[in-house]
Structure 1
Amino acid sequence: MGTRRNHSYLKLIFLLFIFLLGFSLSLHKISNWDIWWHLRAGEYIWEKGLIPREDIFSFTAEGRKWIDHTWLFQAVSWKIYSVAGLAGLIISKALLVGTTFVLLMLVCLRRGSHKTAALLATGFALFILRPRLFIRPHIFTLLFLALHLLILESSTKRRIWLALLPLLMVIWVNVHGGFVAGFIVLFCHLAGFTSHLGFLKFKGEAWSREELQSFYILVAATLATIAATLLNPYTYEILAFPFRLIGQKTYMENIFEWMPLWRLKGFYLFWIFLFLTLTAVFFSWRNLQPSDILQLLVFVILAFLAQRHIELFVIIATPILARHITLDLKKALSDKTLLWGVEMRPLGHLINLAAILLLVFAGIWVIFPRRSAFGLGVRSRLYPEKAADFIKQARITGRMYNEYEWGGYLIWRFFPQRKVFMDGRTVVYGEDLYQDWTKISEGRKHWQETLDKYGVNFLIINYQKDRPASFWEEERWVPIYWDDYTLVAIRDAPENRSLIEKYDARLTSPTIFPRNLSRDNVQTIITKLEEKTIQDPECAVAHILLGRILRRQGNLEAAIREYYRAIEIESRTGGPYYVTGAAYYFLAAAHYLQGYTQAAIEDCLSAIKFMPTNCDTYNRLGTLYQNLGETEKAQKMFEQAALCYFRRGLIQLGLGETEEAKKWLEQAAVLAPENEAIRAKLREMDAD
């Protein structure tokens, strides 16, 4: 009796711990793009008393059909926000995540997993999924998928649990398109049960009455669950929605979360998880259930086709991993071994404590370096907040062109007064509009004509993105505002003349700043930049630009102070990493001119840490090593710079910018004259 009570206490402790771990790791500031348009859509639903059926947020897709499959998530999110603000949304999401992983651990335990194995497997799953735990509708898919698994597992003892599946699906289908995962799980269980009955028939054994009843009830539950999906505002149309993106090449190649896994680097925890799962299954394969085989196969294929489906595979595979680790350990140690059989004695206590401490230290390791991102509120310097304030304050009118990822935030700030060019609702826009957006974003041939086609009057863009030089040389667009990453430019037209005269920022705009440095009005530029630092004390780029002018004038000490000021601002505010990298890059030049070569090398290494793809930094570092006579290090840096220039050249070539591409390739050839790939590409361009 006492042992059973101890087991129950330990189970409760583990479940409470996994809840608190999930809650803590998901309690971070808002940093995803889509939550903003979800909130605005939720407000629209509550105020109008209807669910939108056509696009209301953009001028490019206005009136196009919109199947708002996440309308219930939006309505609930808006109500939480209206009562408790953004903090309420973050806390609600953290509670949801904690509950999801408690349910997942319960599935592991229901399947006979050892408590410690269940804890470690569930904790590992949590760390894999942590980067995806945003306030987005897919959070409900993770919750409902775990609940789906728990209901199916519980139904093996009490079939009445299956009656909950259709009720669950009514909510799921109105919250997120991931409801299809529930179908897949059901079909896998049904197929597994069918194969079990077929195997009995093959062996010549009769089906028991209880087995037949279980089969018929599972079939009925599956059909009822399918029918439940029709209880949504769009009825049968919702069934096709999750598949509309599949096969659309433009999205698969350009939108990160839809890219196939084999095209992407990283995801090391996922690969380790997959390896552990397959290894655990291998050593106890005789105990592998048919439904588990099907689920692993289907969901690993989905994960490989699009990395956003990794989360589905992890939820599905966690109970399988925990169960087979348990079976493998039982086989290796036997039930009589003290290490396995006695949980509440001293050695068992140590094992359980070690498992908890392992997850605690892993949590600290995750949170501490990213502590500025955790907490309540909005992650700073991620959205174009100041630029949106400026657009409102300056009363800029007309159609805007915006960054794809900023569309949701701009809907939040401007709807219904201003509508966006594009946002994250890719299915609404279609491939044609997305390709037009990409043409403009990358400065491809005829990008200006595309803006004319849509009647765009002003741009709000991230000028730190890699674009061809010709993009910034276009004089039909006048910069009127900029900060550390955002630029607002307005069409040079008579109706905008008063705004241009008042806010003209061409002299100080970071996009054409090098061109301005050769002019005679340097003092005017300095004055304007000093005014900028007063108006926006947290604009690090203004200090970097000031430093560049002061260095050009020979005032190295003052220039260095400006660079350090920029670095201090970025470290305090958690600004864009590339701004910090740029500050270190120019700081290296100033230190070198002062004769501090070693300090310049340290600055370059810091710049590479923040901007690992900046070609010029490797080139500069190679020159510094060369000056010190460290030939081997210099050669390594020059080769790295050449490879970087080569890649940039290929990118520009892909954009149709032949002259720009040739410039980068020639720089690469100077640094690596023996590189045959670079020389071959240059010969190919000369031949054309």
Structure 2
Amino acid sequence: MIRRLPLLALGALVVVLHVFPISANDLWMHLLLGQDILRDGIPQQEIYSYTAAGQPFVYHEWLAGVLFHFLDALGGSTLLILLQPVCVLLTVGLLYGLCRSLGADAHITVLVLAAGIYVSSFRLFLRPHLLVVPLLAATLLLLQRLRSPGRWTAVALLVVVQVLWTNLHGSFPEGIILAGLFGAGEWARRRFFAAEEKEAGLTPLWVFALVPVVLAAASLLNPYGWKLLWLAVAHPVDPLFQARIFEYFPPFSAAFRGTRMFWLFLGWLVLLLAGLWSGRKRLDPAYLLPAAGFLVLSLWMNRAIPELVMVSLPLVAVGLSTQAARLTQLWKPLLVLALAVSSVLAFGYRFDSQTVRRFGLGIDPFTPVAAADTLQDLGFSGNLFCSFPYGSYLAYRLAPRARVVFDSRTIPYGTDLYQQFRDARSSLEGFQRHLARYPVDAVLLNFKLDGAPDLHGFLGNSPDWGLVYFDEEAVLYLRRSTATAALLDRRRIVCANPVLFDQRGIPPELAAQCRKECGRLLAANPDAVLPRFFLAAALEAEGRLAEALSETDRLLASGVRRSYVHRLRATLFQALEQPQKVAQETRTADALERR
């Protein structure tokens, strides 16, 4: 049991890295599609948006959608979240068994797996791509088993894995590529590195040549036939993906280079080179060629980095096992893993300077839950223009009564619609062109991602639009019509309007109305930062300084660090004649603004 402690510590690292609130915005569309597939069958055309309605739609991840919907119906968000560590633990188990069968040291393998999982974790979250990682590991393990004669069971299992992969995620050609490169490497090994081996004791090479063909044929077992094969090839080279979708950016592009993920990727490349150098006398071309192929793929688009890690991991583990004598004491790998687990629990998993993923359950605060609740409460139906990350969740919550402008899918939209949508989000002129083209009944924007001041100013000042909800992320406007006029007269937010807010504060004559509006907003979302700030500002305008200070205390206690909160606190302390605290709050606000 004691000897298994490093494996248990590795399992703990996997759990703390992959149990975190749901943040994948496209999960919600998969849940909706999975539900509709069980009711109506595989979709053939787009029905959830008002911009691409009726367009052909190939849902290449249909099986993942059904699986996600089943888990959600069975155990809600908690069971969905637990799928993440389960998939990664399965991957770890398969790769550990493979590395050990190749002669890698147990302690070295555990540490290399820990490094590989940590590097890959930025892509391992709740979306169909997560399901690919154990399938990739299973494919590699089955190809290794195929080296022994009489292993036709391995071929049959490879076919099963490939069929599952094809219907779970569009990256299934990687299985065919992996089999082809492994077979080519096996041929090179026998031709140049192990010519003395007797052919009678080995699987014939023609079997390795046949496997990629069989897997390609197996990939046709999907609801769309050969169209899915074409889509899987054309999808990654689409200019829309290459130019706009972050996961398709090369790792050395300017956008990716500025992230912590880039440095983790470089760290793995260094580890790979160290493994190749240490194990240079026992390199296996059957693993070297796939590693080279997936390195090229990962240099083309960063979404393939986890696949590179998994495919090259046996090379690293076997190569570094030449240094195993330095890790004979059990406490060394345990110490490394304990520090890694403690670091993730204390500081989270950091993507860049501002984005941190923390251990926990539930739904990420970025998701517009309260805004969708408000739309449901209003009985909204019609066309909903929204920020790009919001589309899938809003379709999940509001379809079929509401149709969104765009969501996390790209297949039914195409480059032209995406560009029109991007222009409408980024400028008032583009938004007005969109209004002339489509009837829009509501607008839900993100303050940070859709920050064009003239667009927010237009919606905030126009008599045709009324603000009905906001928090620190989302702002919701409803269009005035015959059906919504009475509703807007009751629910429109006038005084606590973040778009029209005057830095001089809330006028005393509007403070009571502002408090009433903030109370309604906080009833919908008690954790909302901006409404509570406005409530504090309204209390300050009425001279209720202690109550205002109490509201800002609640914000600070919840972990909020915003310069405008500290500016308000400085004003409150000045009115309370506490100059030392005024100076302290001012310094904190200045520091936050400089950051």
TM norm structure 1: 0.76
Q: Residue 222 of structure 1 corresponds to which residue in structure 2? A: 212
1:147-158 aligned at under 5 Å gives the runs: 147-158=138-149
1:150-189 aligned at under 5 Å gives the runs: 150-158=141-149, 159-160=151-152, 161-189=154-182
Give the whole-Å Cα distance in 1 for the aligned partners of 2:168 and 2:395: 21
Which runs of no fewer than 5 residues in structure 2 stay unpaired? Answer: 350-356
Give the aligned length: 573
Q: Are the equivalent residues in 2 in contact too, given 1:439–1:447 (CA < 8 A)?
A: yes
1:488-507 aligned at under 5 Å gives the runs: 488-507=476-495
Q: Are the equivalent residues in 1 in contact too, given 2:148–2:203 (CA < 8 A)?
A: no
The Cα offsets for residues 45-103 of structure 1, whole Å up to 9 and x where unpaired, read as 1122x211211222211121211111111112222222233222223332222111111
Q: Which of 226, 236, 255 is matched with 2:226 structurally? A: 236
1:598-617 aligned at under 5 Å gives the runs: 598-600=583-585, 602-604=587-589, 608=592, 617=593
Q: Are the equivalent residues in 2 in contact too, given 1:244–1:427 (CA < 8 A)?
A: no
Give the whole-Å Cα distance in 2 for the aligned partners of 1:230 and 1:367: 44
Q: Are the equivalent residues in 2 in contact too, given 1:111–1:153 (CA < 8 A)?
A: no
Q: Residue 510 of structure 1 corresponds to which residue in structure 2? A: 498
Q: Are the equivalent residues in 2 in contact too, given 1:41–1:74 (CA < 8 A)?
A: yes
Q: Which of 270, 293, 301 is matched with 1:298 structurally? A: 293
Change in 2 beyond 3 A, CA 1:530/1:293: closer
Q: Residue 195 of structure 1 corresponds to which residue in structure 2? A: 188
Q: Residue 452 of structure 1 corresponds to which residue in structure 2? A: 436
Give the whole-Å Cα distance in 2 for the aligned partners of 1:261 and 1:180: 21
Indicate the structure whose relative CO is greater, using CA pairs within 8 Å and at least 6 residues apart: 2
Q: Which of 120, 123, 127 is matched with 2:118 structurally? A: 127
Give the whole-Å Cα distance in 1 for the aligned partners of 2:211 and 2:4: 31
Give the whole-Å Cα distance in 2 for the aligned partners of 1:412 and 1:211: 56
Q: Are the equivalent residues in 1 in contact too, given 2:48–2:400 (CA < 8 A)?
A: yes
One-letter amino acid of the structure 2 residue matched with residue 297 of structure 1: A
Structure 1 residue 583 corresponds to structure 2 residue 557? no
Q: Which of 289, 302, 306 is matched with 1:307 structurally? A: 302
User: Superposition RMSD on alpha carbons, in Å?
Assistant: 3.1
Change in 2 beyond 3 A, CA 1:602/1:244: farther
Identity %: 24
Aligned to 2:309, the other structure's residue is in SS state: helix
Q: Residue 371 of structure 2 corresponds to which residue in structure 1? A: 387
Q: Which of 250, 253, 273 is matched with 1:260 structurally? A: 250
Give the whole-Å Cα distance in 1 for the aligned partners of 2:66 and 2:513: 49
Q: Residue 352 of structure 2 corresponds to which residue in structure 1? A: none
Structure 1 residue 73 corresponds to structure 2 residue 50? no
1:81-100 aligned at under 5 Å gives the runs: 81-100=72-91
CA shift, 1:41, in A, is 1.1
Change in 2 beyond 3 A, CA 1:152/1:100: same
Q: Are the equivalent residues in 1 in contact too, given 2:536–2:551 (CA < 8 A)?
A: yes
One-letter amino acid of the structure 2 residue matched with residue 504 of structure 1: R
Q: Residue 477 of structure 1 corresponds to which residue in structure 2? A: 465
Structure 1 residue 374 corresponds to structure 2 residue 359? yes
Q: Residue 670 of structure 1 corresponds to which residue in structure 2? A: none
One-letter amino acid of the structure 1 residue matched with residue 315 of structure 2: I
Which runs of no fewer than 5 residues in structure 1 stay unpaired? Answer: 1-8, 331-338, 341-346, 572-576, 609-616, 619-639, 641-688
Q: Residue 393 of structure 2 corresponds to which residue in structure 1? A: 409
One-letter amino acid of the structure 2 residue matched with residue 60 of structure 1: T
Aligned to 1:72, the other structure's residue is in SS state: helix
Change in 2 beyond 3 A, CA 1:10/1:182: farther
Q: Which of 527, 537, 557 is matched with 1:538 structurally? A: 527
Aligned to 2:220, the other structure's residue is in SS state: coil
Q: Are the equivalent residues in 2 in contact too, given 1:80–1:89 (CA < 8 A)?
A: yes
Change in 2 beyond 3 A, CA 1:499/1:274: same
CA shift, 1:489, in A, is 0.6
Q: Which of 342, 360, 363 is matched with 2:341 structurally? A: 363
Give the whole-Å Cα distance in 2 for the aligned partners of 1:357 and 1:152: 34
Segment of structure 1 superposing worse, 368-377 or 491-500:
368-377
Change in 2 beyond 3 A, CA 1:147/1:486: same
Give the whole-Å Cα distance in 1 for the aligned partners of 2:503 and 2:88: 51
CA shift, 1:259, in A, is 2.1
Change in 2 beyond 3 A, CA 1:146/1:83: same
Q: Are the equivalent residues in 2 in contact too, given 1:480–1:506 (CA < 8 A)?
A: no
Structure 1 residue 487 corresponds to structure 2 residue 475? yes
Segment of structure 1 superposing worse, 207-216 or 168-177:
207-216
The Cα offsets for residues 196-228 of structure 1, whole Å up to 9 and x where unpaired, read as 45548xx9x799544885211111222111110
Largest Rg, 1 or 2: 1
Q: Are the equivalent residues in 1 in contact too, given 2:496–2:517 (CA < 8 A)?
A: yes
Q: Residue 109 of structure 1 corresponds to which residue in structure 2? A: 100
Segment of structure 1 superposing worse, 308-317 or 225-234:
308-317
Give the whole-Å Cα distance in 2 for the aligned partners of 1:249 and 1:599: 51
Q: Are the equivalent residues in 1 in contact too, given 2:507–2:541 (CA < 8 A)?
A: no
Q: Which of 283, 287, 292 is matched with 1:288 structurally? A: 283
Change in 2 beyond 3 A, CA 1:282/1:431: same
